[in-house]
Chain A
Amino acid sequence: MKFKVILMGKSKNLTAQAEQVYGFINSNLQDEDATGSTVLLVTKEADPSFALNQAPTDNVERVRVGDYHPETILKGLQKLEAAGDTDLYLFPFGVLADEVAVRWACRINGSSLVQVKSIHRSRTEFQAKKAVYANHVMATFRMTRRPYCISLSKDGIAAASIPIREKASIEEHDLSELHADRPSNSEWMPEEPASDLESARFLVVGGRGMGSAGACRELEKKANSIGADFGASRPVVMSAWAHMHRLVGASGSIAKPDLCIAAAVSGAAAFYVGIANSKKIIAINSDDRAPILKAADVVIVEDYKVIMDALAKVILEAKADEKA
């Protein structure tokens, strides 16, 4: 099986994406007949030497394109892949990767799946697994048309560090004439999140049970006062009680803190994937039927507000005692 990894050199998540792809290759494509290379798409603004080290295979095709618009990437792939001898296209996690994987499969008459967690190959079949039913159920699909185009799931795949070593081969392609016709009157509004929830060590997450934007702000303040970052479930951000950057779950941050306190969170599976990698989960919810209570290490069936107030007092007193 011949596979190709497609990476965008300018992606803000390049390292995380590449390490996850490398982990995926290690656990899914290690048999003798699997040979892979990386198509690394760069623009003149990107740092090619840094990006090159992130390639998860020893053979690399470094391709300079005009921009990272999906149409540009698709046109680039069309030029590069005229031979049609690739069996599997492997895209990293992310919205752009999902889009290109599906559209590329359409254009080359292949099959596609996005947010894939693992694959299984036999002589006659290619199967891939992904979460469905809002992350309650794992589905296996038989992909019926080669080439297979898949993008990876952001959660559930162990990343692996890529050893820095000289690449066996580096092919250079200049397709910088390729670019998309962007609307002339577009405006880019960059947003820097106040904190990176994916690297937080101590996280407090608030759910719909908080009841109001005011209660949400109070819990955020309380979390910060005890040294925790603050995240929110999807119903909370959809009600605009918290900024979208605070979203924890399948469509937001996948956190892996040492300690996570889930306050007034029901624990829908799509939310839970965002905290599933926590070392310890403490759930506080007054509803004793909330699913989070079976998926936590410690459960407290009480009003989250009174418990958080009391806990903050205990933690702050303990810190004050230590100082004294």
Chain B
Amino acid sequence: MKILVSFAIEPEIERLVGDDWLVENGLEIDTGFLKPMLNSYDESALAMALKLVQESRNRPNPMVLTAFTIAAKGAGPILRTLNALPFDQIVHVDHRSDIRFAPRTVAAILSQYVQNHAHQDVLILGQQTSIGANAKTPLLVAEMLGWPYIAGVIRIASADSNQLEVICQVAGGRLRQQIETPCVLSIGDAPNTFLRVPTLKDRMHLGQRPITEMPMDLFDLPRETEVLTNLEIIQHRRSAVSLVGQDPEEIAQKLFDQHLKDTAIFRSDLDRR
């Protein structure tokens, strides 16, 4: 079984505080100075797939795992880390254009890669990126390929040679099901799914293997049907009254006397009595 995980590399935007959030030209936010990191849903996807494939390595037909990304400059260290973990193949599509809000472009590249360059049985994607937050790419890939789609996946295990067992978190509970391939899996909030850090030895040996580089012009890119016209910072500000005291007991007493005891919660306690 061939498994491909598509992942995004994003700037660590939670490092931006207060006035760092600045819109330029109505459409840009300068994040160039921030450290690149894996999107958190995609890290879950990569970790789950790696565990699944490693468990298959002692079986007669081991799974083959590809990590695929469309990323600009700065992706190198992350790609080498994934190489060292190890993923069987790392594919890097080098893009120079703005794909923050381009889910159809990303989905088209991924589906054309699977159709024209390297057939896969299972595609695994995080449900959305932090920046674009479109929550559409896995769905568009499934539609473009005509494959079944499973949302909210939080666990994957192998079942038969062409089947997987997946658990999905949906409203009201969890659904465990065995699914046929090919399929597209979208990873939701999956607890305890973090990539391990590769050993120095693995970094030196496996991490240095070549990465498959693919230029953008190999792919036919569609026009986006939703076009960004404006960005505006959302302000989350309140009065932020600072409370200090000699010791925790004094602070707690002030907090209760000045801010809590007259709120509806404590008043209603009083009223009931």
Residues of chain A whose beta carbon lies under 8 Å from any beta carbon of chain B: 11-13, 70, 94-96, 98-99, 102-103, 105-107, 110-115, 127-128, 130-145, 182-183, 185-191, 201-202, 227, 234, 237-240, 244, 247, 251-252, 258-259, 266-270, 272, 276, 279-282, 289, 291, 293-302, 306-307, 309-311, 313-315, 318-319, 322-323
Instruction: Specify the chain B residue showing the minimal Cβ separation from A105.
Output: B225
> At the interface with chain A, which of B64-72, B165-173, B210-218?
B165-173
A136-B16 contact, Cβ under 8 Å, with A99-B149, A299-B240, A323-B273: yes
Asked if residues A102 and B136 are in contact (CB atoms below 8 Å), the reply is yes
Of the A-B pairs whose beta carbons lie under 8 Å apart in the complex, a sample of 27, sorted by A's number, is A95-B188, A102-B135, A102-B139, A111-B225, A128-B226, A131-B133, A132-B100, A132-B231, A133-B231, A134-B131, A139-B230, A139-B232, A142-B229, A145-B225, A185-B178, A186-B178, A189-B175, A201-B265, A227-B265, A276-B236, A298-B243, A300-B242, A300-B251, A310-B253, A313-B252, A314-B256, A322-B269
Least CB distance from B262 to A in Å reads 10
Return the contact of B170 from the options A95, A132, A259, A279 (Cβ within 8 A).
A95
* Prevailing SS type, chain A contact patch: mixed
Instruction: Specify the chain B residue showing the minimal Cβ separation from A251.
Output: B189
Collect the chain B residues with CB atoms within 8 Å of residue A298's CB: 240-241, 243, 255, 259
A189-B230 contact, Cβ under 8 Å, with A136-B13, A318-B256: no
* Complex alpha-carbon distance, A100 and B6, angstroms: 22
Residues of chain B whose beta carbon lies under 8 Å from any beta carbon of chain A: 13-14, 16-18, 21, 23, 29, 40, 100-101, 130-136, 139-140, 142-143, 149, 151-152, 169-180, 188-193, 223-234, 236-244, 248-249, 251-253, 255-256, 259-261, 263-266, 269-270, 273
* Prevailing SS type, chain B contact patch: mixed
Return the contact of A238 from the options B29, B40, B231 (Cβ within 8 A).
B40
Collect the chain B residues with CB atoms within 8 Å of residue A136's CB: 13, 16, 21, 233-234
A113-B238 contact, Cβ under 8 Å, with A186-B177, A237-B191, A259-B260: no
Instruction: Specify the chain B residue showing the minimal Cβ separation from A193.
Output: B172
